[in-house]
Amino acid sequence: MKRTRSLVSTVLLLLAVVSVALAQQRPKRFLEAHEFTIKPGAVMAFEDYIKKIVEAADKVGIQQEWATFAQQVGAPGRTYLVVLYYDKWAERDAWTQVPEIVSKAFGDDEAMKILRAGSSAIESSHSRVYRLLEKHSTRIDSAGALTSHYVVTETHVKREMVSDYELMLSKIQAAEEAMEGSGTAIRRVTMLGDASIYIASRPFEK
């Protein structure tokens, strides 16, 4: 019996110049991912928009932890992922939202121009929140800071097969932990957005 509906792998490139607070040491409990597909010809406009948000966050002293990735393999070349990390929902509730950050940094008129430019560059978007599967992750204590590249495998699991799938993950995790030289694999599952989607993130440096 098949446990999954589909499985997709992508390679992500960390864009350090459009990311904030990258000193993450151990994976946070929650990962919030916002995926953007950019209109043809608007990639530079979108990256400029994200850079303006980073500049604004630095200017007003925002300490929220987030990173921007470009998907290099397994998605259109104009696909970006903005990822935010937190351990408690209270942290998320305390975040300053992007329009307020940009307005505080540049004033209302300039902020409106920046936000409109960014919005007009986006073709489509969707968001998900994942929770950490600590017991199913491999070498989680060795995860360290964010690295330049990740291979991310996304698996859509049939709801009635979730228990079987997680049992399989526990066996994979045990085998990987026992294998000398196996790398880190951080596993998560959706808790908001599409249901029963599992991801495994494996960092590497080029």
pLDDT of 205 above 60: yes
Between 15 and 84, name the one with better pLDDT: 84
Q: How many CB atoms lie within 10 A of CB 92?
A: 14
pLDDT of 197 above 80: yes
Q: Taking the C-alpha atoms of 142, 186, 166 and 173 in order, what is their torsion angle to the nearest 10 degrees?
A: -30
pLDDT of 1 above 50: no
Give me the sign of the Cα torsion angle 54, 57, 58, 64. negative
Least confident range of 20-34, 124-138, 165-179: 20-34
pLDDT tens profile 164-192: 999 999 999 999 999 988 889 999 999 98
Q: How many CB atoms lie within 10 A of CB 197?
A: 17
Q: What is the mean pLDDT of residues 102-115?
A: 97
Distance CA 21, CA 66 (A): 6
CB 136 within 8 A of CB 189: no
